[in-house]
Amino acid sequence: MSLGITPKRYERNLGTLGRDGQSRLLGAQVLVVGLGGLGGHVVEMLARLGVGRITGVDGDSFDETNLNRQIFADLENLGRPKAEVARERVRRINPAVEFTPHAARLETLGPGMLRGCGLAFDCLDSIPSRLALAALCARARVTLVHGAIAGWCGQVGVCPPGGDLFRKLYGEAKGPRGAEVELGNLPMTAAVAANLMVAAGLPILLGKPAPRRSLRFFDLLEGSL
């Protein structure tokens, strides 16, 4: 791109992003925490967009309960670390993207993983871990894109440094998990939420203002957004 040559894989991006926008994405670095239902789709879209460096964090391995919705889960990957599978997937999609896997819990890694990141994605399913990530991003002055789903419904929000989105959402939470414990997680709900997360984060990576609406809810059964 710096030499004026556009790889064919990015040609369908340029009409919207432009050459400068695509070049900016190739130089960007992001953090994705949680590589399951939401995080798998987020990483997939970031790699196809051409975001140059992605750090992925997830200490879990794939099991059969993941097969209904997690895009990186298949029968051959059962029992394998999600972070390692994600690295292999990114390499197959776009070898120009550098994916750094961390097969560990967020709480064991510390603030260093945010160094150089222009954006972070919260794809977790634990409320305490979400709050821990939000605190890390606030201290590092990194904008955090949040997503959560349950049944037909989901929520996507953008929390800039110093924002109080997570306090409003989870400040009075009674347990470590949300409504998904009872309602489950449907595949299309995860895909919709993850793509809305990437859509919310993309303008920030392009140097544009964050979306005016900091939080969105959707209900796929009612058809509302």
Q: How far apart are CA 32 and CA 198, in angstroms?
A: 11
In this prediction, residue 175 carries a pLDDT of: 67
176 belongs to a structural domain:
yes
Contacts of 184 (CB under 8 A, 6+ apart): 150, 151
Give the C-alpha distances (Å, rounded to integers) separating 210 from 24, 34, 82, 145.
16, 23, 30, 10
Tell whether 98 is covered by a domain.
yes
- Domain at 202, CATH number: 3.40.50.720
In a domain, 138, yes or no: yes
Domain presence at residue 189:
yes
Give me the domain span that covers residue 186: 18-219
Distance of CA 195 to the CA centre of its chain: 9
Domain count of the fold of the chain:
1
- pLDDT tens for the chain, residues 1 to 225: 777 888 999 999 999 999 999 999 999 999 999 999 999 999 999 999 999 999 999 999 999 999 999 999 999 999 999 999 999 999 999 999 999 999 999 888 888 899 999 999 999 999 999 999 999 999 999 999 999 999 999 999 999 988 989 988 887 765 677 788 888 999 999 999 999 999 999 999 999 977 767 899 999 999 888
Spatial distance between the Cα atoms of 66 and 115, rounded to a whole number of angstroms: 31
Residue 59 tokens read as: 């200490």
1 inside domain: no
